[in-house]
Structure 1
Amino acid sequence: MLPGKAVYRIDEIDRRIAPPKCANLEAFLPDGSQLVGKTSVGVRCTPPPRKDEADGRQARTNGWSIFVPVQIRFNLDLLTSARQLPPGHTLHEQDLASQATETSRMEGFTDPRQVVGKVLRYGIAAGQVLREDMLRQPYSVTQRQVVTLALQGNGFSIRTEGVALNNASEGQTVQIRVGSGRVISGVARAGGVVEITP
């Protein structure tokens, strides 16, 4: 759930739906629904059991349920770019500003710690709200970089060099060409190290 103040509007229910009065209403969230944007909230009537006059046993009266259309928006301060920023720029706190925004979508950031250190995939204008699709993790390995291959097994450890064939952030797969010309795959780690699994 996004932080901030929620603003909601209950839309009109179909006039053809006219459930009987109920003293015991219960709201619920239908499967697959989210409490943001255009959604629906279920309302069910669960009347208490009544006593069967014939034999004194408890019998439950029929309940009902309906779905009420609702629009939910949030008022919150989203992070924006403080100035025009180029593609490939690594974000720092001084690059950030905040903007009071009313939104109905689960996107955007409210805490600088969520974005500082990440890299812009493309350039953005000043005042643009930052979104997840704009950012990536910094590369641990870059294309054509000479990297250290680290291979560890039961009782042995081997380190050698190779050339990265693609960019990769930490934890991503990277293709490496070794001295023999063979291409192998490994996992990018910090410091230009590529971990090879035996």
Structure 2
Amino acid sequence: MAHKTTCISYGRSLRRFPHWSDGKLTQTINQNGLNSGRATFKALIGFGLLCVCAVQLPGWADSRAIQSIDSIRDTVAEFLQASIPVSTTSTSQTHTDSTVSVGKLDPRLTLDRCQIPLKAFLPAGSRLYGKTTVGVRCGGHKPWTVYVPANIVSLGKYLIAKRSLQRGQILHLEDVEYAQQDTSILPRNHTTEADDVVGMELKHQLSPGRTVTANMLTRPDTIKKGQQVTIYSRSGGLLVSSVGIAMANGAEGARVKVKNPSSRRIIEGIVRADGNVDTGR
């Protein structure tokens, strides 16, 4: 059986023992046999000399298999790349490009090599944007779990004011433009579609470059209080129309009260896009 012997000498210089120098010490031990070798070993201790021989046999070394740090980090990167939602829109102008950076782990970390594929998961409270944490779990014979820091930078397009815009102004396409930024630091209700902005009314003034958010917008009033409107109702399968007076302002889709000047009845209906009211009955 193959083995490796390593000898280290300790003690005073062999120059004081010339009869044991130049390999004669080893020769003496080999010739005198085990018992003589023991006596010689004791003599060496007495003289302050010691030769330590370490014999390394197959299987004696630590054979524990360690999970590599790179494999854990690769599992996190693959998980995040597959989990980050991809923005798809009709205009294809809000496409999001995401970059994943996996944090470092302590190089002294020693985890048993997993016998089955590692599984990554998103712990409670973690998110798929900005600075986050991903768990990596080994469910094998010797299970373990480790948590890895990561950072997700998602560059997405959003709408900003192209020029100074006034309160009450109805937005047109030329009033806004697209900008690009890390979406993790944008307001949650930022707008990404021009169709959701054009035709809306601003609730307050916007300076150039300001992000256009959904809570800044409202539908403009389609009818005004006191305006004469046509009231549409259904009776026995027939569509009946009558004249009414709006009792409040109302945007498309809003419910408003309308007074019939002839009967003086007050009914409620939904404002239509054409500025009339449908009672739905």
Shorter-chain-normalised TM-score: which range?
Answer: 0.7 to 0.9
Instruction: Tell me whether 1:112 sits opposite 2:194 in the alignment.
Output: yes
Instruction: Name the SS for the 1:133 alignment partner.
Output: helix
Q: CA deviation at 1:22?
A: 2.9
Q: Give the 5 Å matches for 1:37-76.
A: 37=130, 39-47=132-140, 61=141, 63-65=143-145, 68=148, 70-76=150-156
Asked if residue 185 in structure 1 is aligned to residue 264 in structure 2, the reply is: no
The partner residue of 2:210 within 128, 131, 136 is: 128
The answer to whether residue 128 in structure 2 is matched with residue 35 in structure 1 is: yes
Aligned twin of 1:195: 278
Write the deviation string for residues 27-77 of structure 1: whole angstroms up to 9, x where unpaired.
234578652345543433233xxxxxxxxxxxxx36455555555342233
User: What is the letter of the counterpart of residue 189 of structure 2?
Assistant: E
Which one has a larger percent strand, Structure 1 or Structure 2?
1
CA apart distance, 1:9: 5.2
- Please identify which structure carries the higher helix content: 2
The equivalent of 1:97 in structure 2 is: 177
Count of aligned pairs between the two proteins: 183
Q: CA RMSD in A?
A: 3.2
| CA 154–182 in structure 1, closer or farther in 2 if over 3 Å, else same | closer
Distance in 1 separating the partners of 2:111 and 2:254: 55
Could you tell me which of 228, 253, 263 is aligned with 1:146?
228
Residues 32 and 190 of structure 1: is their aligned pair in 2 closer, same or farther, counting only changes over 3 Å? farther
| Mapped partners of 2:157, 2:280: distance in 1 | 45
Q: Which amino acid aligns with 2:96?
A: G
Matched, 1:81 2:161: yes
Question: TM-score, with normalisation over the residues of structure 2?
Answer: 0.54
Q: Distance in 2 between matches of 1:31 and 1:154?
A: 57
Amino acid at match of 1:26: K
- Counterpart for residue 6 of structure 1: 98
Q: Which runs of 5+ in 1 are unaligned?
A: 48-60
**Higher normalized contact order (CA 8 Å, seq sep 6+, divided by chain length):** 1
CA distance in 2, matches of 1:18, 1:177: 79
* 1:150 positional shift: 0.5
- Give the Å deviation of 1:172: 2.2
Once the two structures are overlaid, the 10-residue window that deviates more, 107-116 or 181-190, is 107-116
Structure 2 counterpart SS, 1:108:
coil
The separation in 2 between residues aligned to 1:142 and 1:70, in whole angstroms, is 54
- Percent identity of equivalent pairs: 31
The code of the aligned residue for 2:138 comes to C
- Following superposition, the deviation at residue 131 of structure 1 comes to 0.8
CA spacing shift, 1:37–1:149, aligned 2, 3 Å: farther
SS at match of 2:204: coil
Aligned-residue offset at 1:196: 0.5
Q: 1:64 to 1:122 in 2, by over 3 A?
A: same
SS at match of 1:160: strand
In 2, the alpha carbon distance for the partners of 1:183 and 1:146 equals 14
Task: Give yes or no for contact 2:234–2:240 (8 Å, CA) kept in 1.
Answer: yes
Query: Which of the two has higher C-alpha Rg?
Result: 2
- Amino acid across the alignment from 1:22: C
Deviation at 1:109, TM superposition (A): 2.9
TM-score (normalised: structure 1): 0.72
2:118 alignment counterpart: 25
Distance (whole Å) between structure 2 residues aligned to residue 119 and residue 108 of structure 1 = 16
Q: Using a 3 Å threshold, how does the CA distance of structure 1 residues 82 and 153 change in structure 2: closer, same or farther?
A: same
Q: Unaligned 5+ residue runs, structure 2?
A: 1-84, 88-94
Tell me which moved more, 121-130 or 19-28: 19-28
